[in-house]
Amino acid sequence: MIDRTHELPLVRQCKILSLARSTAYYQPQPLSESDAVLAKRIDQLHMDWPYAGARMLSRLLKREGMIVGRRHVSTLMKLMGIEALYRKPNTSKKHPAHKIYPYLLRDLKIIRPNHVWATDISYIPMKRGFVYLIAVMDWASRRVLAWRLSNTLTTDFCIEVVQEAINRYGKPEIFNTDQGCQFTSLEFTGLLKDNDIKISMDGKGCWRDNVFVERLWRSVKYEEVYLFAYDSVSAAKNGLAKYFTRYNQQRPHSSLDDKTPDEFYFENLPTMLKAA
């Protein structure tokens, strides 16, 4: 990762990392107002049609009077970090530094807090522009343990949110993610290994492997994000902070015998952790 405060010049850092110098100096450009509206609608359609690719989304948009080509839809999807969910042949060769770990949760009985944690990143539209949201969830209780917003898809904010969750709640036995480059990076997997946490990763394009986080995104967007056009990042932070507090403390889940995530999580913690 580029460190602008390091004594090593940026040119030398880029050479070591095999990056073009333009990458280090690049500043993300804000979306135009029309693209911001379009991106928000693509995000909504993606929640309802997760298997739709750029071509199908383009057709759906045209039926709503939004004339846009599939190439532009594809560009916005890449910017938003979303793709159609379907099984793809494994034809790409992975970078040797980015190991893909097996999925460990299949047929695993997960009934206690801190057995399995999971995380994912989602696109959050605002009135002008957008941000990315990452959350760490306890699988058994559905409790959101920590979350962060960022205007870029970098690894550092993913590491920060996991470290916060570990500092506040201990550590899980297993941590599950998708195969995104942020989660396969040596920095992220190294954090988990340093804490003796087993690493589990979804199958490529298999949203069901991380189904509870996917359900969380749907709830967050339809119950909070889509109802409010955030004016700023601070407004998004305030709105999401209130939402996650309500979600953890007040939202009952039928799968938890109508208990809230907070109730299930804290009632089922080992006695020594409750005392701590």
Residue 7 DSSP SS3: coil
Does residue 156 have a pLDDT over 60?
yes
What's the mean pLDDT in 126-131? 84
The full 3-state SS of 111-169, as one line of letters, equals CCCCCEEEEEEEEEECCCCEEEEEEEEECCCCCEEEEEEECCCCHHHHHHHHHHHHHHH
- Asked if residue 108 belongs to a domain, the reply is no
* 143 plus 261 within the same structural domain: yes
- Asked if residue 246 belongs to a domain, the reply is yes
* 255 plus 157 within the same structural domain: yes
Most confident of 77-81, 91-95, 97-101, 160-164: 160-164
Does residue 140 have a pLDDT over 90?
yes
* 41 plus 1 within the same structural domain: no
- Asked if residue 245 belongs to a domain, the reply is yes
* 13 plus 35 within the same structural domain: no
* 185 plus 268 within the same structural domain: yes
- Asked if residue 62 belongs to a domain, the reply is yes
* 71 plus 23 within the same structural domain: no
Structural domain span for residue 193: 116-275
Q: How far apart are CA 215 and CA 196, in angstroms?
A: 28
What pLDDT is recorded for position 89? 37
Q: How many domains does the chain have?
A: 3
Does residue 204 have a pLDDT over 50?
yes
* 8 plus 67 within the same structural domain: no
Q: How confident is the model at residue 49 (pLDDT cuts 50, 70, 90)?
A: confident
